[in-house]
Amino acid sequence: MLNQMKAMGAVAGLLKNKEKLKEKADEVKVKLETTRVFGEAAGGAVRVTCTCRLLVERIEIAPALASSEETEQLEKFVEEGVNQALEYAQERAKAIIAQAADEMGLGDLMGSGEMENLTGLLG
């Protein structure tokens, strides 16, 4: 409870300096947009690249799989690769936001997602 009160005080201080808060939020957004993560399935035959803003940028399917008539299995592999990449992206995004919050003295807000809601960085 005391930690949350300290964090709320830090937020109040930041709100007095909205320019600094916006600057840090913009910095984090750029980092989320430029950080890439990868997921794969089928032993690397399907590879997915996405950003930490949870946008899939590329799906690569090995030629051996693309010619296969088992499209249902291929779709499952693609789904697994995409889901893994998005999971890694979410983890990395949380770490980036937590680091920014710590740098601003707001680390205590990260426990229940208040910082993400405050900045709207993941939406």
Is the Cβ–Cβ distance between 34 and 51 less than 8 Å? yes
Distances (CA, A) of 55 to 34, 38, 100: 11, 12, 21
Instruction: Name the residue ranges covered by the structural domains of the chain.
Output: 24-119
Give the per-residue pLDDT at 22. Answer: 82
CATH of domain 24-119: 3.30.1310.10
Backbone angles phi, psi at 27, to 5 degrees: -60, -45
Higher-confidence position of 120 and 52: 52
Place of tokens 């032993």: 43
Whole-prediction pTM value?
A: 0.58
Model confidence at 107: pLDDT above 60? yes
Give the per-residue pLDDT at 81. Answer: 92
